A and B are shown apart, each in its own frame.
Chain A
Amino acid sequence: MTRRALIAEVFMRVLYPLLLAAAIWVLLRGHNAPGGGFIAGLLAVAASAAYALVFDARQALRRLPLGPVRLAAGGVLLALLSGLPALWQGRPFLSHPWLSFGLAGIDIPFSTVMLFDLGVFLAVWGALAGYCLKLVESIEEEP
């Protein structure tokens, strides 16, 4: 039986969602301030790795939405799809159109570039967390 660090576990249960929320925040602010999909993805990987350090890699893998392979593939797919609306407008693949619609009096700008960045985020998270956690898992003893 492995030794458990109770305080770290309790702390981690709170920290993990906070880190992911921070990653989303970094992702969204990336357009105008330091941040973006790549950094956000790395932040999420850090969250997963910390989770694996405290618990174990199997549980950390299980907390990845869809599992690492599908998460990474889905990210690439999302980034790929985000380039298609431009084709429909007759512009080159991956040129991002911008829309802006009003909601409760506030103008909310929206663009496929956000979908692209989200795809980058998911791909980086899925792929890197996949390698790291699977590698750690391979040296873990069976529970």
Chain B
Amino acid sequence: MMPLEQDNPKSDRLRAVLTTALLPGTVFALLLCALFAAPLPWQFSWPWLTVLDLDLAVYIDGLSAQFLLLITGIGALVFVYGTGYLANRPERRRVFGLLLLFMAAMIGAVVSDHLLLLFLFWELTSILSFLLIGIDHNRESSRKSAQQAILVTGAGGLCLLAGIILLGQIAGTYGIQELIVRAPSYLEDGRLNAALGLIFMGAFTKSAQFPFHFWLPNAMAAPTPVSAYLHSATMVKLGVYLLARLDAAFSDLLFWEYTLVTIGTFTAVMAAAQTVFERDLKRILAWSTVATLGTLVMLVGLPGQGAALAAAALFFAHALYKAPLFFVAGNLDHGAGTREIDSLTGMRRYMPWTAAAALLAALSMAGLPLTFGFVAKDAITFAKTQAEVLHLVSYATVFVNGIAVAVAAIAALHIFWGRDTVPRQVKPHEASPCMLLPPLLLAGLGLLFGIFPTLVDPLLGSAARAMAPGFDAGQVTAAYDLLPVIEATVAALACGFMIYLGWNWLHAHLTRFAVFDRIGPEAWYRRVIDSLPHLAAWQTRRLQHGLLPGYLAIMLAAVTFLVWLLLLAADPVFAWPDTEGMTVPVLGACLLIAAGAITTLFVNDHLVLLLVSGLVGYGSAVLFLFTGAPDLAFTQFIVETVFVVVVATVLVRLRRQPPPVRKAPPESRLRPLALTLAVVFGATLTTLILLVSDLPFDTSLTDFYAAQSLPAAHGRNVVNIILVDFRALDTLGEIAVLAFALLAAWPLLKLARGKQR
């Protein structure tokens, strides 16, 4: 491929655009046609894992359709943009492949009508996000950011799974629509708050809500197309999507409303304030994305139909203005080699088209009239008047909007207008057409839908109906009420311009108070991550010291402890066993075992020790022989023999070599602690055996095998018949384990041999 690109870069670029954007573009076009052709919702189901009651259930209503359009539409543009942004970069194939997989996972997540299915795709998006953030894996910061993203969202994912299972048990179903229909019947359940709390953890980690917000700005280590797609337009909205999905079922719960409104508002304010601390355009945009996500969570939590409409409008508006702004940041990175806002001024002269795209998108972000951002803001204001929120929340919204205006002004005015005062070695250059078309198109759409909001009314209406089932279409137009929103817009604009003008002053003075860095959740995250190696080293030092007596002591102590715990819990009745089975051979075998065991204490030579301890094994074999288990006795004899022979072989070989370590002095074997442990362990096991042998023995299974052995399996040795016929599958598994263990041990043993040499 590489030589072709060098031969004819232009036609190759075109081909790349066509091939990469073809799939998402086609899906987008088909979806759009289908939306006109067939009324929502669409429902399909294919049987899959019927045992788990898990079918591939698909349910597409307005909310899903809105997400599908964003995923495929912006996806197609991201691919177009990526062919320009990643041209001639070696990692581009990996990026495109992962992006396609991500798109599929995302589509799966928003169409699933089964919570577990949704979870499956949810986790897939987390993993793909991890891979995409860490695409530049030679940089340590990239790896750290990727690790942080997967740890935070992965931990949230586990909570989500627990929450889903709990919710499924409470409601008796995992089907989402089923869950909504049955909602009134289980809202009183006491476990519901726990389930919802766990689901919140999942949604908040995914959608970067406080206190899990910090991974998102760090995820900006990913290439810009990835940031625009995953970390602004689609994946981070998945948490909000899940909440919006369940909103129809739980919006009446106070716990639901209060948690979402509080966390959402707090996240929005905190993230808006954090933008002032940043100088990197991409990180500024990332923080403002977190602020928008907070606003979305707040809107989902607000009761009322207006809030549902506002959430739907903001989903849409944010994708239409934030993705182009990310593209603009990418163009600047590409053309001017930096994203630091200090070294970017007057770029309009070098990059006129990028400047135009930035301006269009910024107008929408600032919420000026005749843009779609204004429509969204209008809907939010309407929602708040309808839901009667606290004044505090209203003030918070004005502040967040003000910051949004300031960020828009930074992106469109500060960077592109004014005079270029920074000395430059290389003249910045305009980006290629395939990096200009996507931002211009998206920002232009934002303007178009702002002038003609009725174009998207049906979509927003049906999306809102998914969150608030009783939503009627008349509400959409009712929300476009100009008077109250003018007030809010003027306030936000005034506030925003003041922040914009004082940005440098604020930045200089506020960075001194960057307390979040020291006490915030990210600092705690880092402390935990940094202390993990120490913890691991400590426990390895304590537990994996390589001394056999130490391992033995830990194991014996643990077994003793557990057995006593069980004994105390079960509270059994103790009785001495009867001495009926005590014949002479049995007694002899017992004496043999005891003699072997006691002699080991007084022997120092390893070879003799081995032979003496073999007496215990042979004694056991004799015992089995005379208590009606000839097969077991046979096995025991041979195992003992093999053991003694192998260990003797090793000992004989070792003796020829000089001893590597000085032998431990014999007194140390009778150290008081070890002696105590040994006596306690022995006593525990003896007690256990006495108690077990006193229990009545259920013989129904043995009777069955004994009766069926000859007629059903043509054999008289019941033990072997069980092994090879009745439970043949188990035996097959066991010998497979044996063979696999050999396969696993083989390279290690070869390695040991190599080291010897």
Contacts and interface: CB of A to CB of B under 8 A. Distances in A.
Nearest to A40: B638
A120 B731 contact: yes
B732 A32 contact: no
Given A42-B638, A72-B742, A124 B717 contact: no
A130 B746 contact: yes
B631 A36 contact: yes
B743 interface: yes
Interface in A32-69: 32-39, 42-43, 45-46, 49-50, 52-53, 57, 68-69
A131 interface: yes
Contacts of B652: 53
Interface in B629-678: 630-631, 634-635, 638-639, 641-642, 645-646, 648-650, 652-654, 656-657
| A interface: dominant SS | helix
A21 interface: no
Interface stretch (B84-92, B294-302, B529-537, B718-726): B718-726
A33 B717 contact: yes
Given A36-B723, A120-B735, A31 B715 contact: yes
Interface in B702-716: 713-716
Given A76-B735, A130-B746, A136-B653, A39 B729 contact: no
B753 interface: yes
A75 B729 contact: no
Contacts of A117: 720, 724
A106 interface: no
Contacts of B679: none
A80 B732 contact: yes
B248 to A, nearest CB: 48
Q: Which of A33, A46, A50, A79 has the most CB of B within 10 A?
A: A46
Contacts of A120: 723-724, 731, 735
Interface in A2-38: 2, 30-38
Contacts of B642: 42, 45-46, 49, 128, 132
Interface in B740-757: 741-743, 745-746, 749-750, 752-753, 756-757
B634 A34 contact: yes
Given A36-B717, A111-B714, A42 B739 contact: no
A40 B743 CA distance: 22
A53 B648 CA distance: 8
Interface residues of A, number: 58
| Most chain A C-beta atoms within 10 Å of own C-beta, residue among B641, B736, B739 | B739
Interface string B328-341: 00000000000000
A113 to B, nearest CB: 5
B638 A46 contact: yes
A109 B652 CA distance: 47
A49 to B, nearest CB: 4
Contacts of B724: 36-37, 96, 113, 116-117, 120
Contacts of A93: 729
Nearest to B716: A32
Given A36-B723, A42-B642, A83-B732, A69 B649 contact: no
B554 interface: no
Contacts of A98: 714
B717 A73 contact: no
A139 B715 contact: no
A76 B736 contact: yes
B738 interface: yes
Contact of A139 (B639, B653, B739): B653
A71 B716 CA distance: 29
A31 B721 contact: yes
B601 interface: no
A57 B749 CA distance: 13
A27 to B, nearest CB: 10
Contacts of B641: 46
Contact of A72 (B646, B714, B719, B739): B739
Nearest to A32: B716
Contacts of B731: 79, 116, 120
B749 A138 contact: yes
A35 B720 contact: yes
A57 B649 CA distance: 9
A104 B193 CA distance: 80
Given A31-B720, A39-B631, A127 B739 contact: yes
Given A94-B728, A130-B742, A131-B745, A34 B630 contact: yes
B383 to A, nearest CB: 62
Interface string A88-100: 0000011110100
A42 B635 contact: yes
Q: Which residue, B631, B724, B749, has most C-beta atoms of chain A within 10 A?
A: B724
Contacts of A113: 713, 715, 724-725
A52 B649 contact: yes
B654 A73 contact: no
Contacts of A83: 728, 732
A44 B745 CA distance: 20
A128 B743 contact: no
B740 to A, nearest CB: 9
A94 B732 contact: yes
Contacts of A111: 714
Nearest to A100: B714
Nearest to A136: B649
A35 B742 contact: no
Of listed A34, A35, A116, residue having the most chain B CB within 10 A: A34
Contact of A46 (B645, B648, B739, B742): B645
Given A113-B724, A116-B724, A116-B728, A124 B631 contact: no
A48 to B, nearest CB: 9
A53 B646 CA distance: 7
Contacts of B714: 31, 98, 109, 111
Contacts of A34: 630-631, 634, 717, 719
B717 A138 contact: no
A135 to B, nearest CB: 6
B700 to A, nearest CB: 23
Contact of B732 (A53, A79, A135): A79
A128 B738 contact: yes
Given A32-B716, A39-B631, A42-B639, A139 B756 contact: yes
Contact of B735 (A69, A94, A119, A130): A119
Given A38-B723, A39-B634, A32 B717 contact: yes
Given A39-B635, A42-B638, 18 more contacts: A32-B717, A33-B716, A34-B717, A35-B634, A36-B719, A42-B642, A46-B641, A46-B645, A69-B742, A72-B738, A72-B739, A79-B731, A96-B728, A113-B724, A113-B725, A119-B735, A120-B724, A127-B739
27 contacts: A2-B656, A30-B720, A31-B716, A33-B716, A34-B717, A38-B723, A39-B635, A39-B638, A42-B639, A45-B638, A49-B649, A72-B739, A73-B743, A75-B735, A96-B724, A98-B714, A113-B713, A116-B724, A124-B738, A126-B742, A128-B738, A130-B742, A131-B749, A134-B750, A137-B753, A140-B653, A141-B657
* Nearest 6 Cβ contacts at the A-B interface: A36-B720, A123-B735, A127-B738, A138-B752, A72-B739, A134-B749
Interface of A: 2, 30-39, 42-43, 45-46, 49-50, 52-53, 57, 68-69, 72-73, 75-76, 79-80, 83, 93-96, 98, 109, 111, 113, 116-117, 119-120, 123-124, 126-128, 130-132, 134-142
